[in-house]
Amino acid sequence: MPIISTSGLSRTFRTRHGEVTAVRGIDLTVRPGEILGFLGPNGAGKSTTLRMLSTLLPPTGGAATVVGHDLLRDPAGVRRKIGYVAQSGGVDPQETVRSELVLQGRLHGMSRTEATARAAELARDLDLTELLDRGSTALSGGQRRRLDIALGLTHRPALLFLDEPTTGLDPGSRTALWTLVRRLRDEHGTTVVLTTHYLDEADALADRLVIIDKGVVAAEGTPAALKAEHAADTLQDAFLAVTGRTPAPVEHAPVAV
Amino acid sequence: MLLHDTAVLFGRYARQTLRSPFQIFFGTLMPLLYLFFFGPLLTGLPLGREGDSWQVLVPGLLLQLGLFGASFAGFAVIMEKNWGVLERLQVTPVSRLALLLGRVLRDAALFVFQAVLLVLAALAMGLRAPLAGILIGFGFVALLTFSLAALSYVLALRLPSPQEFGPAVNTLAMPSMLLSGLMLPMALAPGWLDVLSRFMPFRYLVDAVRDAYVGHYATPTMFYGVLVALGLTALAVTVGTRTFRRAGA
Ligand SMILES: Nc1ncnc2c1ncn2[C@@H]1O[C@H](COP(=O)(O)OP(=O)(O)OP(=O)(O)O)[C@@H](O)[C@H]1O
Ligand SMILES: [Mg+2]
C-alpha cells in the first residue's frame, strides 16, 4: 500500500490581484521506505504541495491519502504520523534549543521525562548538544536549520517532509544530514519526501525524483532514468530539459547593473 | 489530551511572560495614571450612582485595563505566525482548542494579576469596598480578558495583512471604552448616549462590577452582567477554535 497517494491535488490562492494557481493537479504515489526528491524551479508549487500533504493548507481540489488517513476527512490522524520541516523553519526566538525540543515532545504526548530524554537524543543526532541551553537567536543559520530538523523528527514519524532541509548548511552538516536521512530509512523504515535545489544532493540521496513545474508533475523517475530519458550526462541537464530552460546562448545584451 | 496540551502551552506562555517584567507591569500604567490624576477630581462630584467616587471609578479602570490589554493580545500570534511557530504547532496532533486556551488562559492570568495591583493601589488612594465585591470584580476581569484576548487572536489571524491589526484594534477599543461609561457612569449621559451605550456589551459588565463594589450581588444589573460575560466567553471560544482549526490559510 502506498504511504502517500494523491489524485488531482490542487491549490488556488486568492489574492488582491486575482487568483494564483500554485498547484494544478498532482497525481503522486509514494511507497513506504522511499526517499523521494521534489525538484522544480522557484514557484513551481513544491512547498504548497508539502503544506497540503501535511494538513497545513486545505487543497482547493483533488484528494489524498497520507499514511493511511484521508487528508480531508482525518487530518488529525495524518498529523500523528508525519513530521514536517518548513522551508523557513519554525523556531521561537524567545526560547532555548532545549525548551523547543522538550515542548515538541510534550505536544506529541510524551511525559516531561520522556521529552527531556528525547531532546538529548535528538541533540546528539543533529549535533546540537553543546547548544542545548542557548537561546535560539544565538544560533547560526545552519545550526537553527538543524534544530528545525530535530523538531520534525521528535516523534519518530513514519513519514517525514523536509522542505529544503539543507539550504544554508555547511558541507559537513549537509553530508551528516544525508547520512541521517539514510539511517532513518534503513533503521526505522521512515519515508522521506524532501525538496531541494541541489541536484548533486538529489542525485546522491533520492531513490526517485519528481520534477514539478508550474504546478504539475513534469517528469518522474530514478535519477538514472531521468538522465537516460533526456540523453543527459548530468541531472542538471535533464532538469533543464524537463523544465524547458535549456542553457541560454552566450552573446546577449550586457547585464544592466 | 485537551487538558495536557493546554497545561503544556499555558506553561510555555506563562514562562515567556515571567521572563519579561516589562510585559507584566506595562498594562497597569494607563489605569494607574487615571487612578492617581483623574480619580481625585471625582471625589466631590455627584456621579448618579450609589457609593463614593472610588467605588464608581475603580470598576471602570479594571475593565479599561482588561479592554486595552486583552484586545492587543493578538500581536503575539502575528509574531508566532511570522516565525513559523504557529505552523509548527499546528502540524503536531495538539488539540486546536488547546492552541487557543493555552495563550488565552495566560492572558487572563496576567490581566487578573494586573487588576490586583490596581485595586491595591486604589485601596491606598481611598477605595473601600466589600471583599466579596472585589473578588467578583476580578471574576469579571477574568472572563472579559479571556474572551477579548481570544477574539483578538481571531482578528489577528483573519486580517489580510498584519499591519492593519493595530489600527483595527484601536478603532474598536476607543469607542468601546467611551460608550460603555468606563470613566464616568452612563447615568450622567443624555438620553441618546445612554441608549447608544446599551448596545455596548462592556457597559453591562462595568455596571455589574459597580453593583458588586457597593455590596449588591443579586440585582438585575448583576444578572445581565453575568449573562453578557458568559455570552462573550462562549462566542470567543467558538470563533477562536474555528479560526485555529483553519489558520493555515
Ligand atoms: N499564500 C499565498 N498566496 C498567494 N500565492 C502564493 C501563496 N503561497 C504561494 N503562492 C504562490 O504559489 C506558487 C507556488 O509557490 P511555492 O511556495 O509552492 O513554490 P516552491 O516550488 O516551493 O518554490 P521555491 O523553490 O522558491 O521554494 C508561487 O507562484 C507563489 O507565489
Ligand atoms: Mg518552496
Residue nearest ligand 1's atom 5 by CA: A13
Tell if the CB–CB gap between A107 and B12 is shorter than 8 Å: no
> What would the pLDDT profile of A50-63 be if each residue is shown by its tens digit?
999 999 999 999 99
Q: How far is the CA of A36 from the centre of ligand 1 (A)?
A: 20
Q: How far is the CA of A198 from the centre of ligand 2 (A)?
A: 13
Mutate to test the interface with A, among B12, B78, B88 (most CBs of A within 10 A): B88
With contacts defined as CB-CB under 8 Å, which chain A residues touch B91? 54-56, 79, 82, 84
Which residues does B contribute to its contact with A (CB < 8 Å)?
1, 4-5, 8-9, 12, 16, 19, 80, 83-94, 160, 246, 248-249
With contacts defined as CB-CB under 8 Å, which chain A residues touch B248? 51, 55-58
Q: Which residue has the cell 497545513?
A: A56
With contacts defined as CB-CB under 8 Å, which chain A residues touch B88? 84, 86, 90-91, 104, 151
- Structure confidence at residue A246 (pLDDT): 65
A92 has a pLDDT exceeding 70: yes
Closest CA to B243 of B181, B153, B169: B153
Whole-complex ipTM:
0.90
- Structure confidence at residue A253 (pLDDT): 67
B202, B173 contact by CB (below 8 A): no
R_g (Cα) of chain B, nearest Å: 18
Sign of CA dihedral A96, A98, A100, A106: negative
**Going by C-beta distance under 8 Å and a sequence separation of 6 or more, which residues neighbour residue B236?**
B104, B146, B147, B148, B150, B151, B154
Pocket of ligand 1 (CB under 6 A): A 13, 15, 20, 22, 40, 42-48, 87
- Structure confidence at residue A37 (pLDDT): 96
Largest CA distance in chain B: 59
Closest CA to B213 of B156, B135, B134, B155: B134
Q: What residue ranges in chain A does DSSP mark as E strands?
A: 4-15, 18-30, 35-39, 61-66, 69-70, 82-85, 159-163, 191-195, 208-213, 216-221
A242, A213 contact by CB (below 8 A): yes
Residue in B84, B90, B248 nearest the CB of A89: B84
Where does the pLDDT of residue A252 fall: very low under 50, low under 70, confident under 90, or very high at 90 and above? low
Using the Cβ of A90 and the Cβ atoms of chain B, whether some distance falls under 8 Å is answered with yes
% of chain A beyond a pLDDT of 90: 77
Single-letter residue type at B151 = L
Residue nearest ligand 1's atom 17 by CA: A47
Q: Mean pLDDT of all residues in chain A?
A: 92
Domain assignment of residue B207, yes or no: yes
Single-letter residue type at B172 = L
- Structure confidence at residue B229 (pLDDT): 96
Using the Cβ of A197 and the Cβ atoms of chain B, whether some distance falls under 8 Å is answered with no
In the three-class reduction of DSSP (H, G, I as helix; E, B as strand; rest coil), residue A70 is classed as strand
Rounded distance between C-alpha atoms, residue B122 and residue B128, angstroms: 9
A234 has a pLDDT exceeding 80: yes
Average pLDDT over residues A4-23: 93
Q: How far is the CA of A39 from the centre of ligand 2 (A)?
A: 10
Q: How far is the CA of A250 from the centre of ligand 2 (A)?
A: 29
Domain assignment of residue B30, yes or no: no
> What would the pLDDT profile of A62-89 be if each residue is shown by its tens digit?
999 999 999 999 999 999 999 999 999 9
A154 has a pLDDT exceeding 90: yes
Tell if the CB–CB gap between B19 and A93 is shorter than 8 Å: no
Average pLDDT over residues A139-165: 94
- Structure confidence at residue B249 (pLDDT): 36
Tell if the CB–CB gap between A86 and B87 is shorter than 8 Å: yes
Tell if the CB–CB gap between A79 and B91 is shorter than 8 Å: yes
> Which domain, by its residues, includes B191?
50-165+178-245
Q: How far is the CA of A54 from the centre of ligand 2 (A)?
A: 14
> What would the pLDDT profile of A195-220 be if each residue is shown by its tens digit?
999 999 999 999 999 999 999 999 99
- How far is the CA of B61 from the CAs of A198, B34, B49, B143, in angstroms? 60, 8, 16, 16
- Structure confidence at residue A79 (pLDDT): 94
Instruction: Parse chain A into domains and list their residue ranges.
Output: 4-88+158-243
**Going by C-beta distance under 8 Å and a sequence separation of 6 or more, which residues neighbour residue B169?**
B71, B72, B74, B152, B155
List, as one string, the DSSP characters of A88-146. Answer: T----TTSBHHHHHHHHHHHTT--HHHHHHHHHHHHHHTT-GGGTTSBGGGS-HHHHHH
Domain assignment of residue B22, yes or no: no
- Tell me the nearest-neighbour CA distance from B240 into chain A, angstroms: 17
CATH number of A4-88+158-243: 3.40.50.300
Residue that wins the pLDDT comparison between B43 and A90:
A90
- Tell me the nearest-neighbour CA distance from B6 into chain A, angstroms: 10
Using the Cβ of A192 and the Cβ atoms of chain B, whether some distance falls under 8 Å is answered with no
Nearest bound ligand to CA A21? 1
Number of domains in chain B: 1
* Alpha helices, H only, chain B: 2-18, 21-26, 29-37, 39-42, 53-71, 74-83, 85-90, 96-125, 131-158, 165-179, 191-197, 201-213, 220-245
Rounded distance between C-alpha atoms, residue B47 and residue B54, angstroms: 11
Chain A residue with the nearest C-alpha to that of B91:
A79
Using the Cβ of A156 and the Cβ atoms of chain B, whether some distance falls under 8 Å is answered with no
- Structure confidence at residue B248 (pLDDT): 45
List of chain B residues with pLDDT < 70: 247-249
Q: What is the DSSP letter of A249?
A: P
Rounded distance between C-alpha atoms, residue A38 and residue A211, angstroms: 6
Domain assignment of residue B37, yes or no: no
In the three-class reduction of DSSP (H, G, I as helix; E, B as strand; rest coil), residue A177 is classed as helix
**Going by C-beta distance under 8 Å and a sequence separation of 6 or more, which residues neighbour residue B240?**
B100, B104, B150, B151, B153, B154
In the three-class reduction of DSSP (H, G, I as helix; E, B as strand; rest coil), residue A35 is classed as strand
Terminal CA-CA length for chain B? 25
In the three-class reduction of DSSP (H, G, I as helix; E, B as strand; rest coil), residue B15 is classed as helix
Chain A residue with the nearest C-alpha to that of B94:
A107
**Set of cell numbers at residue A45:** 508549487
Residue nearest ligand 1's atom 12 by CA: A22
In the three-class reduction of DSSP (H, G, I as helix; E, B as strand; rest coil), residue A12 is classed as strand
